[in-house]
Chains A and B, each alone.
Chain A
Amino acid sequence: MIKRLIGGSKRAFGMHRPGRNLDVYPDDVFLVSYPKSGNTWTRFLVANLVFPEKNVDFSNLNDLTPDPEAMSKRNLAEVPRPRIIKSHQYFDPRYQRVIYIVRDPRDVVLSQYHFDIKRQAIEEKFPLESYVGRFLRGEDDRPYGTWAENVASWLYVRGTHPGFLLIRYELLQSHGMKELAKIARFFGIAADESRLKFALEQSSADRMRELEKKQAHLWSSTRETRQDKPFVRAAKSGGWKSELPQSSIAELEKAWGKLMTDLGYQLSTRSATESSSSSAPQLATVGAAPEGRYSE
């Protein structure tokens, strides 16, 4: 009752965090991804690209690319428009302009594992194999669906929509200039090479690490987490090849092989390609994608 009273009065003054119930404006642009898929890096890139004069860091990141899970309804309503909003939401029909960042789920699960240790959701010794099982079944405290549900709900529904831009984390790393140019075009920003370069440099892993050291206490996603573990971790792709148990790789590929292949992620277990159609969470039975459309 007390809790509800507090909740009710917070709401009356717009002090609650709206999350999925954010009031959406038609000119909002959303930076959407499953968690641990390069969203924060993309926020840095986009903020540096759009607001080069603002000196983007962890202290003003939420002001420039607001997060409805970390900010009040009232603050969100005061952000100058058009807003650039961070989101981890599965499909929301109200989002009209979406940049969707996708990352190899084999790397996502590793990143999420380490982040869950940092935020003390699991112990340091928690077995990685059972963590992968939970990840696959969507059994954790994150309300965003499984990786595949989240990705498929956007990709197969808005994939060819002009208001939708798919960015692969891996390509953003290997071909930063080219991918960032796509993002600039999506925002209608005429960005020359020097502006793109500036944004990339200001958002490099090294620079973000430096900033994190000084500002971890200033940012909602790192404030109440273990300070002996960094938020900006490997910032690399392919770590799964050495760090994930073979059985876990097979499990992921068996469940999501079709979707991974559609995205251009090569499967390492041959059998996964054939058996993926018979496994439990069946995806993408509706459309068939030409292989490797998004690979380079």
Chain B
Amino acid sequence: MIGHLIAGGKRLFGLHRPRRELVILPDDVFLTSFPKSGNTWTRFLVANLAFPEKNPDFGNLEQLVPDPAATSKRDLDRMPRPRIIKSHECFDPRYPRVIYIVRDPRDVVVSQYHYHRKCKKIDDNFPMAKFVARFIAGETCPHGSWGENVATWLVTRQNDSRFLLLRYEDMLSDTAGALAKIAAFLSIPATGERIARAIERSSVGQMRKLEKTQSEKCELTKDTRQDLSFVRAASAGGWRSDLQDTLVAEIEAAWGPLMRHLGYELDSRPGSDSGSSSPIGLVLNGASR
């Protein structure tokens, strides 16, 4: 009851975090991804591109590219427009324009495993096999499974001019190319020089340096273990050494067709091409909960 009253009072003054109840404006752009898919890096890139004069860092990232799960309604209402908003939500038809970042789920699960250690949600010796099973079942975060999150967006918005799909791996290998696409999508007239500077200021080295001094200021890292870093490998393909073959096979069995559609080559050869023969051609065959 007391909890209800406090929540009610917070709401009265707009101090609550709106999350899915965010009031969406027609010129909003959403930076969307499943968790641990390069969203924070992209926020840095976008913030450095759009607001170079603000010196984006972990201290002001929440003001520049806010997260409705970490910023109050009042602050979100008062932001200059057009807003660029961070999100991990599954498909939401109200989002007017979306930059969607997708990452190889085999790397996502490794990244999420380490992030959950950092957040003290699991022990250091938590079995990876168990984590992968929960990951496939969509039980590691409240945003659906990786397959569900990605598929809800692709089946509704892929090839739509209001939707920009970026692969984390492509962003790593050609950051300038990806950021130029983002700049065009945001209608930011960006010279090569401006893009290069944004990339430099969002580099892994720079982000690691900032994290060391600002980790307590940032919603993503405060109250987490300080002996583990938020900015971890920042690379692609780590799953090849970090994930057992059987776990790789489990992920590929759940989401093979969707992964292939995104250009993620499968490592295991599951008994025939189960994907193309699955009933309604589905992206997600075996993902049972």
Q: Show the binding face of A for B, using Cβ within 8 Å.
A: 4-5, 7-9, 11-14, 20-21, 90-94, 96, 138, 143-146, 148-150, 152-153, 155-163, 262, 280-290, 293
- Are B257 and A286 closer than 8 Å at their CB atoms? yes
Q: List 5 A-B contacts (CB under 8 A).
A: A4-B12, A11-B8, A93-B148, A145-B93, A286-B258
**Bound form: Cα–Cα A90–B284 in Å:** 17
- Are A262 and B280 closer than 8 Å at their CB atoms? yes
* B-side contacts of A290, CB under 8 Å: 279-281
| CB-CB contacts below 8 Å: B242-289 with A | 257-258, 261, 276, 278-285, 287-289
- Are B160 and A93 closer than 8 Å at their CB atoms? no
- Are A93 and B138 closer than 8 Å at their CB atoms? yes
**Bound form: Cα–Cα A291–B9 in Å:** 55
Number of B residues near A (Cβ < 8 Å) is 47
* A-side contacts of B280, CB under 8 Å: 155-156, 159-160, 262, 287, 289-290, 293
- Are B156 and A145 closer than 8 Å at their CB atoms? yes
- Are A161 and B287 closer than 8 Å at their CB atoms? yes
- Are B155 and A153 closer than 8 Å at their CB atoms? yes
* B-side contacts of A160, CB under 8 Å: 278-280, 282, 284-285
**Bound form: Cα–Cα A160–B20 in Å:** 27
Given contacts A5-B12, A91-B148, A163-B289, contact A283 B155 (CB under 8 A): yes
* A-side contacts of B4, CB under 8 Å: 11-14
Interface residue? B159 (CB, 8 A): yes
Pairs A-B, 6 closest by C-beta atoms: A93-B144, A287-B281, A145-B93, A12-B8, A289-B281, A8-B8
Main secondary structure of the interface of A (DSSP, over half): loop
**Bound form: Cα–Cα A173–B282 in Å:** 27
Question: Least Cβ distance of B7 to chain A in Å?
Answer: 7
**Bound form: Cα–Cα A105–B248 in Å:** 40
* B-side contacts of A286, CB under 8 Å: 151, 154-155, 158, 257-258, 261, 281, 283
- Are A287 and B159 closer than 8 Å at their CB atoms? no
Interface residue? B81 (CB, 8 A): no
* A-side contacts of B93, CB under 8 Å: 90, 138, 143-146, 149-150
**Bound form: Cα–Cα A93–B138 in Å:** 8
Q: Which of A20, A153, A285 contacts B159 (CB 8 A)?
A: A285
* B-side contacts of A146, CB under 8 Å: 93
Question: Least Cβ distance of A145 to chain B in Å?
Answer: 3
- Are A12 and B5 closer than 8 Å at their CB atoms? yes
**Bound form: Cα–Cα A96–B90 in Å:** 15
